[in-house]
Amino acid sequence: MEGTESIIVGIPLYHNCTLMDFAGATQVFAAPFGFKPIWIANDAVIVTTEGVPVTPNYTFEDCPTIDILFIPGGNSDGVGATMENNEYLDFIRKVSKTTLWKGSVCTGAFILAASGVLNNCLATTYWSQIPTLELLASKFNLTIHEGYPRFLLDEKQKIFTGGGISSSLDLALELVLRIKGKEIAELTQLFIQYQPNPPVNSGDPAHAPIEITAILRKQQEAFTKAMVAEVNKLL
């Protein structure tokens, strides 16, 4: 990472990971200011939760040295299978030993926990799965932040976790800020014209109407049940 070399952001993909979890971060890191995002998987094509096929740049064996490990979230099928995928977990364990930062966004936190890397730190995840993550708090000595933070960075452990999906943009930009400073972060923000001004204000349960949150919680009951089942395997 010395001199003019780019900081390599390695994003290990898996089937049924969420597109914006890694595409949003990729957009931030791909701005021409010293970072290089790469997608990694041993499968030739990865299909996201949105049904979008994407092509990784590298396999686990031939990828370059990673400076930032960024694990995306996904649905319960994708996350659950990856929590039990020793090839994927071993890759996380290996590269985490030498990264500048490592972490996750959304439900990627559960994969990070399954690898044994998510320990002794602040942590968050997708809003509806925060209670599920709390089940792991004692085992992994996690401090689960109150509310619905867009991201959390633990300076001591050099571990980050992000909220759901669109949080990948804010989390990636925060990492740019921490590593490259305010000017580069501002240049990056302007480069991608990231000035969010949504037409509604219902992005987490602290802002959404109670009835809207209740509807989505009901719709996600099967998702939550499946995630709790995977967490119980770790316990």
CATH at residue 209? 3.40.50.880
* Amino acid identity at 99: T
* pLDDT mean over 37-53: 98
- Provide the 3-class DSSP secondary structure of residue 152: strand
Quote the number of domains for the chain: 1
Chain mean pLDDT for the chain: 97
Report in angstroms the alpha-carbon separations of 137 from 19, 121, 131, 145. Answer: 27, 10, 10, 11
pLDDT above 80: residue 2: no
Q: What percentage of the chain has pLDDT greater than the value 90?
A: 97
| pLDDT, greater one: 2 or 139 | 139
- Provide the 3-class DSSP secondary structure of residue 223: helix
Residue 181 token pair: 């400073």
Q: Which of 17, 63, 106, 121 is catalytic?
A: 106
How does pLDDT run across 184-231, given as a tens digit for each residue? 999 999 999 999 999 999 999 999 999 999 999 999 999 999 999 999
Report in angstroms the alpha-carbon separations of 22 from 27, 74, 182, 200. Answer: 9, 10, 23, 24
Residue 214 token pair: 């209740």
Residue 146 lies in a domain: yes
How does pLDDT run across 61-83, given as a tens digit for each residue? 999 999 999 999 999 999 999 99
Residue 105 lies in a domain: yes
Look up residue 199 and give its DSSP letter. S
Q: pLDDT value at position 145?
A: 85
Residue 1 lies in a domain: no
Residue 21 lies in a domain: yes
Residue 151 lies in a domain: yes
Residue 2 lies in a domain: no
How far is it, in rounded angstroms, from Cα 212 to Cα 218? 10
pLDDT above 60: residue 1: no
| Residues β-bridged to residue 102 | 69, 159
Whether 17 is a known active-site residue: answer no
Residues of the domain holding 30: 7-234
Give ∠ CA 197-200-205 in degrees, rounded to 5.
110
pLDDT above 70: residue 160: yes
How far is it, in rounded angstroms, from Cα 75 to Cα 82? 11
Q: pLDDT value at position 3?
A: 44
What's the longest Cα–Cα distance across the chain? 53
Residue 30 lies in a domain: yes
Q: pLDDT value at position 4?
A: 59
Q: pLDDT value at position 5?
A: 84
Shortest CA distance to 105 belongs to which of 74, 137, 72, 129? 72
What pTM does this model have? Answer: 0.96
